[in-house]
Chains A and B, each alone.
Chain A
């Protein structure tokens, strides 16, 4: 029993490493966020309208866009708080569910000036560029490149946008790393 518990522990520690535990792995300090959305549904004032249990890649909960929901739950923090180092390339890993080839949603990374105004940076990954199978969860991966010299107070925003998709699109198991 002790041995099996130990194995289970090793496995759990490993899983934590895979899901972004800052103590483990070689990405120490470089994880901007890693979430499966389970610890956001019902917690604090996270917008529960953008969380759903209709579909999920892991656990029960995912975020989504669809009619009446142009944007998913959105990550937003000043750049200086999102990472201890100045952020250069942002490596994004996620699982998405598109019902069909019409689901033209985007994963977006924006940087907005602290006082409001036009984005200092606005970059989008069109999911249809990477997803060619529909009605199942598919992995997407993209490196977003922020320009140099963005002020630390500027707000980093990461979200799924509906764009022109007429159908709901789901996002789960999102990891964003700041690459060196």
Chain B
């Protein structure tokens, strides 16, 4: 516990020294909506079959899709609950891992409309184009502008999707934030 106190003191020093700014001056201001490193999801929900200990970017857990698993454990929240104001532009950021060139998964983002019972907007990041190099963890990110007519009742969904991948693909440290400028 005393070790924790020392570390915590260093954190405070670090925060004070950086003026409590989490992002550098060269990055646009952003507000975090959700983050997951998948370390503490097991046990707290029904299905965590996509969470694996095989490899991880941080900690010991990550999400995996492969021939037997189409969707990774994802995030879903009504836009009106994800933020207390209308969201226009989001920033997706994560670490991806391809085992070989066939790990062509996607980090998907959708707006799902419950009234129409279907996604009304889809975007995402292709592993083949963004991760490219198999065998190591690489950072992937994308700014995504939501449609002007997005409504607060539509559900924001972010998830790892197998897409055309026939080999395992992994995801860790997924962050969804709002770009505010």
CB neighbours of B14 from chain A (8 A): 4, 7-12
Closest to A38 in B: B35
Question: Which residues 35-54 of B sit at the A interface, judged by CB distance below 8 A?
Answer: 35-48
CB neighbours of B46 from chain A (8 A): 44-45
Do residues A45 and B47 form an inter-chain contact, with CB atoms below 8 A?
Answer: yes
Stretch at the interface among A75-83, A95-103, A121-129, A144-152: A75-83
Is there a chain A Cβ closer than 8 Å to B12's Cβ? Answer: yes
Give the number of chain A interface residues (Cβ < 8 Å).
40
CB neighbours of A47 from chain B (8 A): 45
- Contacts A7-B17, A33-B43, A44-B47 known; A17 to B11 CB distance under 8 Å? no
Q: Which of B8, B60, B77 contacts A14 (CB 8 A)?
A: B8
CB neighbours of A73 from chain B (8 A): 44
CA of A38 to CA of B37, assembled, Å:
11
Q: Which of A7, A21, A46 contacts B45 (CB 8 A)?
A: A46
Is there a chain B Cβ closer than 8 Å to A42's Cβ? Answer: yes
Q: Which of A33, A44, A74 contacts B74 (CB 8 A)?
A: A44
Would you give the shortest CB distance from A13 to chain B, in whole angstroms? 7
Chain A: interface secondary structure? mixed
Would you give the shortest CB distance from A80 to chain B, in whole angstroms? 12
CA of A22 to CA of B42, assembled, Å:
14
Do residues B44 and A35 form an inter-chain contact, with CB atoms below 8 A?
Answer: yes
- Contacts A44-B41, A76-B43 known; A11 to B59 CB distance under 8 Å? no
Is there a chain A Cβ closer than 8 Å to B13's Cβ? Answer: yes
CA of A74 to CA of B59, assembled, Å:
23
Closest to B156 in A: A42
Q: Which residues of B contact A (CB under 8 A)?
A: 3-4, 6-8, 10-15, 17-18, 34-48, 59-60, 73-77, 82
Is there a chain B Cβ closer than 8 Å to A18's Cβ? Answer: yes
Is there a chain B Cβ closer than 8 Å to A118's Cβ? Answer: no
Would you give the shortest CB distance from A97 to chain B, in whole angstroms? 20
CB neighbours of B76 from chain A (8 A): 42
Would you give the shortest CB distance from B7 to chain A, in whole angstroms? 2
CB neighbours of A131 from chain B (8 A): none
Q: Which of B15, B38, B45, B47 contacts A8 (CB 8 A)?
A: B15
| Interface 1/0 per residue, A141-168 and B, CB below 8 Å | 0000000000000000000000000000
Do residues B47 and A15 form an inter-chain contact, with CB atoms below 8 A?
Answer: no
CA of A107 to CA of B82, assembled, Å:
29
Most buried by B among A14, A21, A45, A73: A14
Would you give the shortest CB distance from A27 to chain B, in whole angstroms? 11
CA of A71 to CA of B49, assembled, Å:
24
- Contacts A7-B13, A15-B11, A42-B75 known; A75 to B48 CB distance under 8 Å? no
Is there a chain B Cβ closer than 8 Å to A20's Cβ? Answer: yes
CB neighbours of B40 from chain A (8 A): 20, 33-35, 39-40
Would you give the shortest CB distance from A164 to chain B, in whole angstroms? 26
Q: A11-B13, A14-B4, A45-B47 are in contact. List 11 more A-B contacts (CB 8 A).
A: A8-B14, A8-B15, A10-B10, A14-B7, A35-B44, A40-B44, A42-B75, A43-B45, A44-B45, A44-B74, A77-B42
